[in-house]
Amino acid sequence: MKCIRNLKIATPHIIPRPEHNISRANISEHATKVLYRLKAAGYQSYLVGGGVRDLLLGREPKDFDVATDATPEQVKEVFRNCRLIGRRFRLAHVHFGRDIIEVATFRSMQDASEPGDRETENGMLVRDNIYGTIEEDALRRDFTINALYYNIEDFSVVDYAGGMEDLQAGVLRLLGDPDTRYREDPVRMLRAVRFAAKLGFVVNPACENPLFELGSLLQSVPPARLFEEVLKLFMAGVALHSFEKLRHYGLFGQLFPETEEALAHEDHEFPITFVIRGMQNTDSRIREGKPVTPAFLFAVLLWEPVRLLAERLRAAGESPLVAMQQAGSDILMTQLARVSIPKRFSIPMREIWNLQHRFEQRAGKRPYRLLTHPRFRAAYDFLLLRAESGEVEQELADWWTLFQQQDGDERNQMVRQANNGDGDKPKRRRRRRRRSAKPADPR
Protein backbone atom coordinates (compact mmCIF):
# COMPACT_ATOMS: atom_id res chain seq x y z
CA MET A 1 0.00 0.00 0.00
CA LYS A 2 1.37 3.38 -1.01
CA CYS A 3 1.46 6.17 1.51
CA ILE A 4 1.35 9.81 0.55
CA ARG A 5 1.55 12.40 3.32
CA ASN A 6 0.18 9.99 5.90
CA LEU A 7 -2.79 9.26 3.70
CA LYS A 8 -3.05 5.64 2.75
CA ILE A 9 -4.40 5.10 -0.71
CA ALA A 10 -7.36 2.93 -0.06
CA THR A 11 -9.94 1.53 -2.39
CA PRO A 12 -12.34 4.32 -3.17
CA HIS A 13 -15.84 4.52 -1.90
CA ILE A 14 -18.02 4.32 -4.99
CA ILE A 15 -21.49 5.78 -4.70
CA PRO A 16 -23.62 4.33 -7.52
CA ARG A 17 -26.08 6.50 -9.46
CA PRO A 18 -29.23 5.53 -7.50
CA GLU A 19 -27.56 6.59 -4.24
CA HIS A 20 -26.73 10.20 -5.08
CA ASN A 21 -28.59 13.16 -6.51
CA ILE A 22 -26.38 14.23 -9.42
CA SER A 23 -28.37 14.23 -12.61
CA ARG A 24 -26.88 14.90 -16.05
CA ALA A 25 -29.67 17.40 -16.57
CA ASN A 26 -27.95 19.68 -14.04
CA ILE A 27 -24.55 19.54 -15.69
CA SER A 28 -23.96 22.20 -18.33
CA GLU A 29 -24.30 21.16 -21.94
CA HIS A 30 -20.69 22.10 -22.66
CA ALA A 31 -19.27 20.17 -19.71
CA THR A 32 -21.31 17.13 -20.72
CA LYS A 33 -19.96 17.38 -24.27
CA VAL A 34 -16.36 17.49 -23.01
CA LEU A 35 -16.92 14.53 -20.69
CA TYR A 36 -18.42 12.37 -23.44
CA ARG A 37 -15.90 13.37 -26.09
CA LEU A 38 -12.95 12.44 -23.85
CA LYS A 39 -14.58 9.16 -23.01
CA ALA A 40 -15.19 8.41 -26.71
CA ALA A 41 -11.50 9.09 -27.38
CA GLY A 42 -10.65 6.35 -24.90
CA TYR A 43 -9.70 8.49 -21.89
CA GLN A 44 -11.03 8.51 -18.36
CA SER A 45 -13.20 11.51 -17.81
CA TYR A 46 -14.69 12.89 -14.63
CA LEU A 47 -16.37 15.99 -13.33
CA VAL A 48 -14.50 17.16 -10.25
CA GLY A 49 -14.22 19.90 -7.64
CA GLY A 50 -16.77 22.59 -6.91
CA GLY A 51 -19.16 21.37 -9.60
CA VAL A 52 -19.58 17.94 -8.00
CA ARG A 53 -19.64 19.41 -4.48
CA ASP A 54 -22.33 21.96 -5.32
CA LEU A 55 -24.51 19.51 -7.25
CA LEU A 56 -24.41 17.08 -4.33
CA LEU A 57 -25.47 19.94 -2.05
CA GLY A 58 -28.32 20.84 -4.38
CA ARG A 59 -26.67 24.16 -5.27
CA GLU A 60 -26.07 25.61 -8.67
CA PRO A 61 -22.36 25.24 -9.54
CA LYS A 62 -20.45 28.31 -10.65
CA ASP A 63 -18.43 26.34 -13.16
CA PHE A 64 -17.63 22.77 -14.14
CA ASP A 65 -14.14 21.35 -14.08
CA VAL A 66 -13.13 18.13 -15.79
CA ALA A 67 -10.32 15.77 -14.80
CA THR A 68 -8.83 13.17 -17.11
CA ASP A 69 -5.87 10.86 -17.63
CA ALA A 70 -5.22 12.49 -21.04
CA THR A 71 -2.25 14.86 -21.02
CA PRO A 72 -2.93 18.51 -21.97
CA GLU A 73 -1.47 17.80 -25.40
CA GLN A 74 -3.75 14.80 -25.85
CA VAL A 75 -6.74 16.90 -24.78
CA LYS A 76 -5.77 19.43 -27.43
CA GLU A 77 -5.86 16.69 -30.05
CA VAL A 78 -9.42 15.78 -29.10
CA PHE A 79 -10.81 19.35 -29.23
CA ARG A 80 -10.35 21.86 -31.99
CA ASN A 81 -11.53 24.65 -29.71
CA CYS A 82 -8.85 24.03 -27.09
CA ARG A 83 -6.02 26.16 -25.69
CA LEU A 84 -3.30 25.14 -23.30
CA ILE A 85 -2.62 27.63 -20.53
CA GLY A 86 -0.52 28.07 -17.38
CA ARG A 87 3.07 27.38 -16.51
CA ARG A 88 2.69 26.79 -12.81
CA PHE A 89 -0.21 24.52 -13.48
CA ARG A 90 -0.66 23.42 -17.09
CA LEU A 91 -4.30 23.11 -18.10
CA ALA A 92 -6.44 22.71 -21.18
CA HIS A 93 -9.24 25.21 -21.77
CA VAL A 94 -11.99 24.05 -24.09
CA HIS A 95 -13.82 27.07 -25.49
CA PHE A 96 -17.51 27.23 -26.38
CA GLY A 97 -18.06 30.87 -27.24
CA ARG A 98 -17.61 32.68 -23.93
CA ASP A 99 -17.97 29.53 -21.86
CA ILE A 100 -14.76 27.71 -20.95
CA ILE A 101 -14.52 24.19 -19.61
CA GLU A 102 -11.28 23.61 -17.75
CA VAL A 103 -9.75 20.18 -18.29
CA ALA A 104 -6.96 19.16 -15.91
CA THR A 105 -4.80 16.08 -16.19
CA PHE A 106 -4.62 13.90 -13.05
CA ARG A 107 -1.68 15.09 -10.97
CA SER A 108 0.48 13.35 -8.45
CA MET A 109 2.16 14.61 -5.29
CA GLN A 110 5.08 12.22 -5.68
CA ASP A 111 8.58 13.56 -6.10
CA ALA A 112 9.46 14.78 -9.55
CA SER A 113 11.48 12.42 -11.74
CA GLU A 114 12.19 15.25 -14.21
CA PRO A 115 13.73 18.34 -12.65
CA GLY A 116 11.50 21.37 -13.22
CA ASP A 117 8.19 19.50 -13.18
CA ARG A 118 7.64 20.47 -9.59
CA GLU A 119 9.23 23.43 -7.86
CA THR A 120 8.87 24.56 -4.29
CA GLU A 121 10.12 27.74 -2.62
CA ASN A 122 10.28 27.64 1.18
CA GLY A 123 7.75 24.82 1.23
CA MET A 124 5.48 26.64 -1.19
CA LEU A 125 4.46 24.90 -4.35
CA VAL A 126 5.23 27.11 -7.34
CA ARG A 127 5.00 24.55 -10.13
CA ASP A 128 3.07 21.33 -10.19
CA ASN A 129 3.07 19.42 -13.43
CA ILE A 130 3.64 15.80 -12.52
CA TYR A 131 0.88 13.68 -13.88
CA GLY A 132 -0.50 10.72 -11.99
CA THR A 133 -3.50 8.53 -11.36
CA ILE A 134 -6.96 9.55 -10.21
CA GLU A 135 -6.12 8.40 -6.65
CA GLU A 136 -3.07 10.63 -6.58
CA ASP A 137 -5.05 13.46 -8.10
CA ALA A 138 -7.69 13.15 -5.36
CA LEU A 139 -5.13 13.35 -2.57
CA ARG A 140 -3.40 16.51 -3.76
CA ARG A 141 -6.66 18.48 -3.76
CA ASP A 142 -7.39 20.86 -0.91
CA PHE A 143 -10.51 19.77 0.98
CA THR A 144 -12.16 16.36 1.13
CA ILE A 145 -15.42 17.82 -0.20
CA ASN A 146 -13.50 19.13 -3.23
CA ALA A 147 -12.03 15.73 -4.00
CA LEU A 148 -15.16 13.98 -5.25
CA TYR A 149 -15.34 12.74 -8.84
CA TYR A 150 -18.40 12.15 -10.98
CA ASN A 151 -17.66 9.38 -13.46
CA ILE A 152 -19.30 9.80 -16.88
CA GLU A 153 -18.70 6.08 -17.56
CA ASP A 154 -21.31 4.83 -15.08
CA PHE A 155 -22.61 8.07 -13.44
CA SER A 156 -21.21 7.07 -10.07
CA VAL A 157 -19.45 9.36 -7.58
CA VAL A 158 -15.93 8.29 -6.62
CA ASP A 159 -14.71 9.27 -3.15
CA TYR A 160 -11.10 8.60 -2.11
CA ALA A 161 -10.96 10.90 0.89
CA GLY A 162 -14.18 10.64 2.90
CA GLY A 163 -15.56 13.73 1.19
CA MET A 164 -19.10 12.38 1.05
CA GLU A 165 -19.24 11.96 4.81
CA ASP A 166 -17.84 15.46 5.40
CA LEU A 167 -20.30 16.89 2.92
CA GLN A 168 -23.18 15.37 4.83
CA ALA A 169 -21.78 16.51 8.18
CA GLY A 170 -21.02 20.04 6.94
CA VAL A 171 -17.31 19.80 7.71
CA LEU A 172 -14.35 21.33 5.88
CA ARG A 173 -11.31 19.13 6.24
CA LEU A 174 -8.00 19.48 4.45
CA LEU A 175 -6.44 16.38 3.01
CA GLY A 176 -3.16 15.47 4.70
CA ASP A 177 -1.32 17.45 7.35
CA PRO A 178 -2.96 20.91 7.63
CA ASP A 179 0.22 22.80 8.48
CA THR A 180 2.07 21.38 5.47
CA ARG A 181 -0.84 21.92 3.13
CA TYR A 182 -1.25 25.58 4.17
CA ARG A 183 2.48 26.18 3.80
CA GLU A 184 2.46 24.58 0.37
CA ASP A 185 -0.22 27.04 -0.72
CA PRO A 186 -1.27 29.73 1.78
CA VAL A 187 -4.26 30.62 -0.39
CA ARG A 188 -5.85 27.46 1.00
CA MET A 189 -6.42 29.47 4.21
CA LEU A 190 -8.55 31.92 2.27
CA ARG A 191 -10.32 29.07 0.55
CA ALA A 192 -11.14 27.56 3.96
CA VAL A 193 -12.72 30.85 5.01
CA ARG A 194 -14.56 31.22 1.72
CA PHE A 195 -16.08 27.74 1.72
CA ALA A 196 -16.98 27.99 5.41
CA ALA A 197 -18.77 31.29 4.71
CA LYS A 198 -20.38 30.20 1.47
CA LEU A 199 -21.53 26.72 2.48
CA GLY A 200 -22.09 27.42 6.18
CA PHE A 201 -19.65 24.58 6.99
CA VAL A 202 -17.42 24.34 10.05
CA VAL A 203 -13.67 24.02 9.62
CA ASN A 204 -12.57 20.95 11.54
CA PRO A 205 -10.36 21.90 14.53
CA ALA A 206 -7.07 20.53 13.18
CA CYS A 207 -7.51 22.65 10.06
CA GLU A 208 -8.86 25.65 11.95
CA ASN A 209 -6.07 26.14 14.50
CA PRO A 210 -3.32 26.93 11.98
CA LEU A 211 -5.51 29.67 10.52
CA PHE A 212 -4.76 31.75 13.64
CA GLU A 213 -1.03 31.13 13.26
CA LEU A 214 -0.07 31.10 9.61
CA GLY A 215 -1.65 34.28 8.23
CA SER A 216 1.69 35.95 7.54
CA LEU A 217 2.41 33.30 4.89
CA LEU A 218 -0.03 35.19 2.68
CA GLN A 219 2.69 37.79 2.24
CA SER A 220 4.49 35.43 -0.10
CA VAL A 221 1.50 35.04 -2.41
CA PRO A 222 1.59 37.21 -5.55
CA PRO A 223 -0.76 40.23 -5.16
CA ALA A 224 -2.49 39.40 -8.46
CA ARG A 225 -3.53 35.99 -7.16
CA LEU A 226 -4.79 37.55 -3.93
CA PHE A 227 -6.86 40.01 -5.96
CA GLU A 228 -8.68 37.06 -7.54
CA GLU A 229 -9.24 35.49 -4.13
CA VAL A 230 -10.50 38.74 -2.63
CA LEU A 231 -13.08 39.01 -5.39
CA LYS A 232 -14.21 35.45 -4.75
CA LEU A 233 -14.44 36.15 -1.00
CA PHE A 234 -16.41 39.37 -1.32
CA MET A 235 -18.43 38.96 -4.48
CA ALA A 236 -20.14 35.65 -3.92
CA GLY A 237 -23.05 36.93 -1.83
CA VAL A 238 -21.38 36.14 1.51
CA ALA A 239 -19.11 39.17 1.87
CA LEU A 240 -20.18 39.93 5.42
CA HIS A 241 -19.58 36.37 6.68
CA SER A 242 -16.26 36.30 4.86
CA PHE A 243 -15.19 39.64 6.36
CA GLU A 244 -16.10 38.55 9.88
CA LYS A 245 -14.34 35.23 9.55
CA LEU A 246 -11.21 36.75 8.03
CA ARG A 247 -11.01 39.18 10.96
CA HIS A 248 -11.65 36.38 13.43
CA TYR A 249 -8.62 34.46 12.16
CA GLY A 250 -6.43 37.55 11.81
CA LEU A 251 -6.31 37.09 8.05
CA PHE A 252 -8.06 40.31 7.08
CA GLY A 253 -5.08 42.38 8.21
CA GLN A 254 -2.84 40.37 5.90
CA LEU A 255 -4.94 41.44 2.94
CA PHE A 256 -5.87 44.97 4.03
CA PRO A 257 -3.27 46.05 6.60
CA GLU A 258 -4.17 49.75 6.57
CA THR A 259 -7.86 49.03 7.01
CA GLU A 260 -7.22 46.60 9.83
CA GLU A 261 -5.08 49.20 11.56
CA ALA A 262 -7.75 51.87 11.17
CA LEU A 263 -10.49 49.56 12.43
CA ALA A 264 -8.44 48.41 15.40
CA HIS A 265 -7.53 51.90 16.62
CA GLU A 266 -10.80 53.68 16.15
CA ASP A 267 -12.74 54.59 19.30
CA HIS A 268 -16.04 55.17 17.62
CA GLU A 269 -18.16 52.37 16.39
CA PHE A 270 -18.89 53.69 12.96
CA PRO A 271 -15.90 52.57 10.87
CA ILE A 272 -16.75 48.95 11.53
CA THR A 273 -20.41 49.72 10.92
CA PHE A 274 -19.45 51.31 7.62
CA VAL A 275 -17.58 48.25 6.32
CA ILE A 276 -20.31 45.95 7.62
CA ARG A 277 -22.99 47.96 5.88
CA GLY A 278 -20.89 48.00 2.71
CA MET A 279 -20.64 44.22 2.82
CA GLN A 280 -24.37 43.84 3.54
CA ASN A 281 -25.10 46.16 0.66
CA THR A 282 -22.94 44.09 -1.72
CA ASP A 283 -24.57 40.86 -0.51
CA SER A 284 -28.10 42.11 -1.01
CA ARG A 285 -27.31 43.50 -4.45
CA ILE A 286 -26.01 40.06 -5.46
CA ARG A 287 -29.10 38.38 -4.01
CA GLU A 288 -31.29 40.76 -6.03
CA GLY A 289 -29.31 40.05 -9.20
CA LYS A 290 -28.02 43.65 -9.38
CA PRO A 291 -24.52 44.33 -10.65
CA VAL A 292 -21.70 44.87 -8.19
CA THR A 293 -18.37 46.32 -9.15
CA PRO A 294 -15.04 45.61 -7.52
CA ALA A 295 -14.42 49.39 -7.67
CA PHE A 296 -17.20 50.01 -5.13
CA LEU A 297 -16.13 47.05 -3.01
CA PHE A 298 -12.52 48.27 -2.75
CA ALA A 299 -13.74 51.84 -2.18
CA VAL A 300 -15.63 50.53 0.86
CA LEU A 301 -12.80 48.32 2.12
CA LEU A 302 -10.18 51.07 1.98
CA TRP A 303 -12.35 54.04 2.94
CA GLU A 304 -11.52 54.15 6.61
CA PRO A 305 -7.75 54.60 6.26
CA VAL A 306 -8.27 56.97 3.31
CA ARG A 307 -10.76 59.08 5.27
CA LEU A 308 -8.49 59.31 8.33
CA LEU A 309 -5.47 60.32 6.27
CA ALA A 310 -7.50 62.86 4.27
CA GLU A 311 -8.74 64.35 7.55
CA ARG A 312 -5.17 64.77 8.76
CA LEU A 313 -4.16 66.41 5.48
CA ARG A 314 -7.12 68.78 5.67
CA ALA A 315 -6.20 69.70 9.21
CA ALA A 316 -2.77 70.58 7.85
CA GLY A 317 -4.37 72.99 5.41
CA GLU A 318 -4.96 71.01 2.22
CA SER A 319 -8.16 71.57 0.26
CA PRO A 320 -10.74 68.75 0.50
CA LEU A 321 -9.99 67.56 -3.02
CA VAL A 322 -6.22 67.61 -2.73
CA ALA A 323 -6.40 65.92 0.68
CA MET A 324 -8.58 63.15 -0.75
CA GLN A 325 -6.43 62.67 -3.83
CA GLN A 326 -3.26 62.48 -1.78
CA ALA A 327 -4.76 60.13 0.80
CA GLY A 328 -6.20 57.96 -1.97
CA SER A 329 -2.88 57.55 -3.74
CA ASP A 330 -0.93 56.92 -0.51
CA ILE A 331 -3.27 54.22 0.74
CA LEU A 332 -3.58 52.64 -2.70
CA MET A 333 0.20 52.44 -3.02
CA THR A 334 0.54 50.51 0.25
CA GLN A 335 -2.41 48.32 -0.64
CA LEU A 336 -1.01 47.29 -4.01
CA ALA A 337 1.94 45.63 -2.30
CA ARG A 338 -0.52 43.12 -0.82
CA VAL A 339 -3.50 42.79 -3.09
CA SER A 340 -3.28 44.19 -6.58
CA ILE A 341 -6.18 46.23 -7.90
CA PRO A 342 -6.21 46.63 -11.68
CA LYS A 343 -6.44 50.21 -12.92
CA ARG A 344 -9.87 49.62 -14.43
CA PHE A 345 -11.11 49.30 -10.85
CA SER A 346 -8.75 51.58 -8.93
CA ILE A 347 -9.52 54.59 -11.15
CA PRO A 348 -13.30 54.51 -10.57
CA MET A 349 -12.65 53.64 -6.90
CA ARG A 350 -10.69 56.86 -6.48
CA GLU A 351 -13.36 58.82 -8.33
CA ILE A 352 -15.93 57.60 -5.83
CA TRP A 353 -13.73 58.97 -3.03
CA ASN A 354 -12.89 62.22 -4.80
CA LEU A 355 -16.55 63.01 -5.42
CA GLN A 356 -17.55 62.73 -1.77
CA HIS A 357 -16.74 66.28 -0.71
CA ARG A 358 -18.76 67.61 -3.64
CA PHE A 359 -21.98 66.36 -2.07
CA GLU A 360 -21.55 69.06 0.55
CA GLN A 361 -21.67 71.75 -2.11
CA ARG A 362 -25.33 72.31 -2.71
CA ALA A 363 -25.27 75.91 -3.88
CA GLY A 364 -25.45 77.35 -7.40
CA LYS A 365 -24.80 75.13 -10.40
CA ARG A 366 -22.67 72.61 -8.56
CA PRO A 367 -25.33 70.07 -7.63
CA TYR A 368 -26.56 69.96 -11.24
CA ARG A 369 -23.04 69.36 -12.47
CA LEU A 370 -22.43 66.61 -9.96
CA LEU A 371 -25.63 64.89 -11.05
CA THR A 372 -24.31 64.50 -14.61
CA HIS A 373 -20.95 63.06 -13.54
CA PRO A 374 -20.55 59.53 -14.97
CA ARG A 375 -19.62 58.21 -11.52
CA PHE A 376 -22.46 60.01 -9.73
CA ARG A 377 -24.53 56.91 -9.03
CA ALA A 378 -21.72 54.93 -7.40
CA ALA A 379 -20.59 57.99 -5.44
CA TYR A 380 -24.17 58.59 -4.25
CA ASP A 381 -24.55 54.95 -3.15
CA PHE A 382 -21.31 55.43 -1.25
CA LEU A 383 -22.68 58.58 0.39
CA LEU A 384 -25.76 56.63 1.52
CA LEU A 385 -23.52 54.12 3.26
CA ARG A 386 -21.60 56.91 4.98
CA ALA A 387 -24.87 58.40 6.20
CA GLU A 388 -26.22 55.05 7.39
CA SER A 389 -23.11 54.48 9.45
CA GLY A 390 -23.32 57.97 10.98
CA GLU A 391 -20.26 59.44 9.29
CA VAL A 392 -22.20 62.21 7.58
CA GLU A 393 -25.61 63.71 8.36
CA GLN A 394 -28.54 61.65 7.13
CA GLU A 395 -30.05 64.98 6.05
CA LEU A 396 -27.34 65.35 3.38
CA ALA A 397 -28.05 61.91 1.91
CA ASP A 398 -31.81 62.56 2.00
CA TRP A 399 -31.32 65.87 0.21
CA TRP A 400 -29.52 64.12 -2.65
CA THR A 401 -32.11 61.36 -2.80
CA LEU A 402 -34.85 63.97 -3.14
CA PHE A 403 -32.85 66.12 -5.53
CA GLN A 404 -32.66 63.22 -7.99
CA GLN A 405 -36.37 62.50 -7.75
CA GLN A 406 -37.61 66.09 -8.20
CA ASP A 407 -38.27 67.80 -11.49
CA GLY A 408 -36.75 71.13 -12.66
CA ASP A 409 -38.72 73.69 -10.61
CA GLU A 410 -38.59 71.73 -7.41
CA ARG A 411 -34.88 71.16 -7.87
CA ASN A 412 -34.28 74.88 -8.31
CA GLN A 413 -36.28 75.46 -5.17
CA MET A 414 -34.11 72.95 -3.26
CA VAL A 415 -30.93 74.69 -4.41
CA ARG A 416 -32.34 78.12 -3.46
CA GLN A 417 -33.18 76.82 0.01
CA ALA A 418 -29.71 75.31 0.27
CA ASN A 419 -28.26 78.70 -0.71
CA ASN A 420 -30.21 80.53 1.96
CA GLY A 421 -30.26 78.01 4.70
CA ASP A 422 -28.45 74.82 5.57
CA GLY A 423 -26.51 74.75 2.34
CA ASP A 424 -24.50 77.77 3.46
CA LYS A 425 -23.46 76.28 6.72
CA PRO A 426 -20.82 73.83 5.60
CA LYS A 427 -19.31 76.57 3.45
CA ARG A 428 -18.94 78.96 6.36
CA ARG A 429 -17.64 76.22 8.57
CA ARG A 430 -15.06 75.22 6.01
CA ARG A 431 -13.80 78.78 5.62
CA ARG A 432 -13.36 79.12 9.35
CA ARG A 433 -11.51 75.83 9.57
CA ARG A 434 -9.17 76.78 6.77
CA ARG A 435 -8.28 80.07 8.38
CA SER A 436 -7.53 78.50 11.75
CA ALA A 437 -5.46 75.77 10.06
CA LYS A 438 -3.23 78.29 8.28
CA PRO A 439 -0.68 78.87 10.99
CA ALA A 440 0.03 75.13 11.09
CA ASP A 441 0.73 75.14 7.36
CA PRO A 442 4.50 75.25 6.85
CA ARG A 443 4.21 77.14 3.53
Q: Which residues are tagged catalytic?
A: 63, 65, 142
197 CB contacts (<8 Å, ≥6 apart)? 233, 238, 241, 242, 245
Task: Give the count of beta carbons closer than 10 Å to the beta carbon of residue 45.
Answer: 25
The closest alpha carbon to 172, from 151, 189, 156, 186, belongs to: 189
- Per-residue binding letters, 8-47, with ligand ATP (x by CB under 6 A): ----------------------------------------
Instruction: Give the C-alpha separation, 112 to 324, whole Å.
Output: 52
At its nearest, how many Å lie between ligand ATP and the CB of residue 138?
9
At its nearest, how many Å lie between ligand ATP and the CB of residue 174?
9
Residue nearest to Mg ion (CB): 50
**Whose Cβ is closer to ligand ATP: residue 184's or residue 391's?**
184
- Total binding residues toward Mg ion, as defined by CB under 5 A: 2
**Whose Cβ is closer to ligand ATP: residue 132's or residue 367's?**
132
Instruction: Give the C-alpha separation, 94 to 100, whole Å.
Output: 6
Local structure of 148: helix, strand or coil: strand
By CB under 6 A, residue 271 contacts ligand ATP: no
185 binds, among Mg ion, ligand ATP, none (CB under 5 to 8 A by kind): ligand ATP
Stretch in the footprint of ligand ATP (CB under 6 A) among 62-70, 75-83, 255-263, 414-422: 62-70
By CB under 5 A, residue 101 contacts Mg ion: no
247 CB-side CA count, 13 A:
14
By CB under 5 A, residue 50 contacts Mg ion: yes
Q: Which of 69, 142, 159, 318 binds ligand ATP (CB under 6 A)?
A: 142
Residue type at 3 in one-letter notation: C
Torsion of CA 114, 115, 119, 120, to 10 degrees: 110
**Whose Cβ is closer to ligand ATP: residue 139's or residue 324's?**
139
Instruction: Give the C-alpha separation, 193 to 204, whole Å.
Output: 12
**Whose Cβ is closer to ligand ATP: residue 142's or residue 391's?**
142
Q: Which of 90, 141, 241, 386 binds ligand ATP (CB under 6 A)?
A: 141
Residue nearest to ligand ATP (CB): 50
User: Which ranges of 101-256 does DSSP label H, i.e. alpha helix?
Assistant: 134-139, 163-169, 178-184, 187-199, 205-213, 223-234, 239-248, 252-255
At its nearest, how many Å lie between Mg ion and the CB of residue 195?
11
By CB under 6 A, residue 176 contacts ligand ATP: no
Residue 132 · residue 110 · CB < 8 Å: yes
- Total binding residues toward ligand ATP, as defined by CB under 6 A: 13
Instruction: Give the C-alpha separation, 256 to 167, whole Å.
Output: 32
Task: Give the count of beta carbons closer than 10 Å to the beta carbon of residue 407.
Answer: 7
Stretch in the footprint of ligand ATP (CB under 6 A) among 180-188, 243-251, 366-374, 377-385: 180-188
Return phi, psi of residue 442, to 5°.
-65, -20
Instruction: Give the C-alpha separation, 203 to 377, whole Å.
Output: 39
At its nearest, how many Å lie between Mg ion and the CB of residue 102?
8
Instruction: Give the C-alpha separation, 283 to 276, whole Å.
Output: 10
**Whose Cβ is closer to ligand ATP: residue 129's or residue 146's?**
146
At its nearest, how many Å lie between Mg ion and the CB of residue 325?
39
Residue 224 · residue 343 · CB < 8 Å: no
By CB under 6 A, residue 50 contacts ligand ATP: yes
By CB under 6 A, residue 210 contacts ligand ATP: no
By CB under 5 A, residue 146 contacts Mg ion: no
By CB under 6 A, residue 185 contacts ligand ATP: yes
At its nearest, how many Å lie between ligand ATP and the CB of residue 51?
6
* Window 220-259: residues binding ligand ATP (CB under 6 A): 232
Stretch in the footprint of Mg ion (CB under 5 A) among 29-37, 45-53, 278-286, 320-328: 45-53
The closest alpha carbon to 223, from 195, 255, 192, 182, belongs to: 255
At its nearest, how many Å lie between Mg ion and the CB of residue 49?
5
Instruction: Give the C-alpha separation, 148 to 164, whole Å.
Output: 8
Return phi, psi of residue 154, to 5°.
-135, 10
At its nearest, how many Å lie between Mg ion and the CB of residue 51?
6
By CB under 6 A, residue 146 contacts ligand ATP: yes
By CB under 5 A, residue 63 contacts Mg ion: yes
Task: Give the count of beta carbons closer than 10 Å to the beta carbon of residue 117.
Answer: 15
Stretch in the footprint of Mg ion (CB under 5 A) among 58-66, 139-147, 207-215, 425-433: 58-66
By CB under 5 A, residue 47 contacts Mg ion: no
The closest alpha carbon to 27, from 11, 9, 44, 51, belongs to: 51
Chain residues that interact with ligand ATP, rule: CB under 6 A: 49-50, 62-63, 65, 141-142, 146-147, 185, 187-188, 232
Chain residues that interact with Mg ion, rule: CB under 5 A: 50, 63
